[in-house]
Amino acid sequence: MSRDGFGSKLGIIAAAAGSAVGLGNIYRFPCELGNNGGGAFLLVYLLIVLCLGVPVMLSEFVIGRRTQKNPIGAFKALRPKSAWPLLGYMGVACALVIMAFYSTVAGWTLEYTVKAIGNQFQGKDIETMEQEFVAFHNIGWKNILWQGIFIFLTGFVVFKGVANGIEKYSKVLMPLLVLILLVLAVRSVTLPGGTDGLTFLFKPDFSKITGSVLISALGQAFFSLSMGMGVLITYGSYIKKEDNMTTTALSVTLSDTLVAVLAGVVIFPAAFSFGIQPTAGMGLVFNTLPMIFNQMAGGYYFCVIFFVLLAVAALTSTISLLEVIVAYLVEEVHLTRRWSTVLASVACLAVGVFASLSLKDGSGIAIGGKSFFDCLDFLSSNILLPLGALMIVLFVGWILGKTAFFEEITNGGKLKLSIKGVIYFIIKFVAPLAIAVIFITGLL
């Protein structure tokens, strides 16, 4: 049976960017930035993306395209009878961990879409918005229902297969999301007091850079670029032999970073203007955005479209996460695609239910004082993704080696790539060292 491939060059860029751009950019990035000192976090984040983004992404693409397999099969093919396939298993586990809490927030985008359609934000002040947000978390069944619907939607698209499932949705809608964010950014920075938000975002206070800020920025960068757990190995396996993977990696990294910074420019000026603390976390996005729409001509329509697009952005990311688990079940466990999708979806929901419920007041679903939701988030971004990325660059730099790497990124010598030496140097020495140092500083 031949594997699906992406129909066009734009197809793989759209799909990889669809995976990268999601709640990580619009929801998680502002949360992390707000909790980690603002401008200082942005600076560290951008430096990490600039130095490590393309090299790590390319490492994953190379492993995927060379083997045409899922992460576990890929390592089995490249280094049979070694411990490397464990890295693939870690990726599949990580996909499950991320899906479990990501689908909680994805579910909220549906709830907020419905609220937006019902014009339920109109005329509300920020206190009311905040109270309603908390009240919503306390209705456990509603969170779980939306989460279940979201996972079902994801499963539906994944079941339909890679090429026609993913490509179709992300090509048109993501540029539209960027457009709306641009309009929102203009409104946000022109709100009274909005410039304070820009100062918070762009003016680094170097004294704020600590070990925990470094690891949070590293984790956020990997999370946002979908790196370190096999999504890009899986997608790389669908890249055609004649595609230029380096420009693909560059476009994906650039667009993802652009959307994150743009989300910051939308959120922080408005948050400062409405008196919302930058450390407000989850409420930052869900409470601030409707307040901006309330201040805009045609705000009702923008609000509805925005939440729909946010849900779509989340969907193209959850598709990629579920695809990792499904590709593993199909190719390694030899289940049918239908049963693999059902099994993967049920597993994600089974863990995800606890993530959703853990946000209820006094739910007690917590480990060491951290809600289960936060634990899953922390485990994936600050531990599994950095570890995964570290092992992936070590594998490409030291095991797979220079010849194979160059052969793959130049399409067997057909592409002239003057920076290939620099990229390889980063993969072999700089990236492992940087990730290891930040990881260890973060643990101290």
Cα 415 to Cα 397: distance, rounded to the nearest angstrom: 20
Sequence-distant (6+) residues with CB within 8 A of 157 are 165, 166, 169, 315, 319
Task: Using the minimum distance from each CB to ligand PHE, give the nearer residue, 16 or 394.
Answer: 16
Can residue 19 be called a binding residue for ligand PHE (CB under 6 A)? yes
3: DSSP letter: P
- Considering only 12, 13, 20, 289, the residue that binds ligand PHE (CB under 6 A) is 20
Give alpha helix (H) positions in 160-242.
Answer: 162-189, 194-202, 211-224, 231-236
By CB under 6 A, name the one of 147, 317, 341, 345 that touches ligand PHE.
317
Under 8 Å between Cβ of 34 and 377: no
**Contact assessment for residue 256 and residue 224, using Cβ atoms and an 8 Å cutoff:** yes
**231 is a contact residue toward ligand PHE (CB under 6 A):** yes
55-63, 143-151, 160-168, 225-233 -> range binding ligand PHE (CB under 6 A): 225-233
Residues 373-432 that bind ligand PHE (CB under 6 A): none
255 forms part of the interface with ligand PHE (CB under 6 A): no
Residues 96-135 that bind ligand PHE (CB under 6 A): 98
User: Could you tell me which stretch among 114-122, 162-170, 183-191, 219-227 binds ligand PHE (CB under 6 A)?
Assistant: 219-227
Instruction: Please choose, from the candidates 357, 383, 33, the residue with its C-alpha nearest in 3D space to the C-alpha of residue 208.
Output: 33
Please tell me whether residue 410 adopts helix, strand or coil conformation: coil
Judged by CB, which is closer to ligand PHE: 230, or 299?
A: 230
Q: Which is nearer to ligand PHE, 374 or 407 (CB)?
A: 374
Applying CB under 6 A, the span of 14-22, 62-70, 193-201, 331-339 interacting with ligand PHE comes to 14-22
- Specify whether the CB–CB gap between 40 and 386 falls below 8 A: no
Residue from 59, 103, 188, 226 touching ligand PHE (CB under 6 A): that is 226
Give 425's contacts (C-beta < 8 A, 6+ positions apart).
Answer: none
59 versus 317: smaller Cβ distance to ligand PHE: 317
Q: Smaller CB distance to ligand PHE: residue 223 or 286?
A: 223
Contacts of 142 (CB under 8 A, 6+ apart): 111, 136
Binding ligand PHE (rule: CB under 6 A), the pick from 75, 150, 223, 424 is 223
Quote the least distance from Cβ 255 to ligand PHE, whole Å.
Answer: 12
Using CB under 6 A, which residues numbered 23 to 62 contact ligand PHE?
A: 23-25
Task: Pick from 11, 18, 22, 352 the residue near ligand PHE by CB under 6 A.
Answer: 22
Contact 190, 56 (CB under 8 A): no
Nearer to ligand PHE, 223 or 274 (CB): 223
Q: How far is the CB of 205 from ligand PHE (least distance, A)?
A: 26
Question: 104 near 355, Cβ under 8 Å?
Answer: yes
In the chain, how many H helices and how many E strands?
22, 2
Question: Please, which residues bridge with residue 366 across strands?
Answer: 371
Residue nearest to ligand PHE (CB): 24
CB 17 within 8 A of CB 235: no
| # residues near ligand PHE by CB under 6 A | 15
Q: Which is nearer to ligand PHE, 24 or 290 (CB)?
A: 24
Q: HEC states along 102-148?
A: HHHHHHHHHHHHHHHHCCCCCCCCHHHHHHHHHHHHHCHHHHHHHHH
Binding footprint of ligand PHE on the chain (CB under 6 A): 19-20, 22-25, 98, 223-224, 226, 229, 231, 317, 320-321
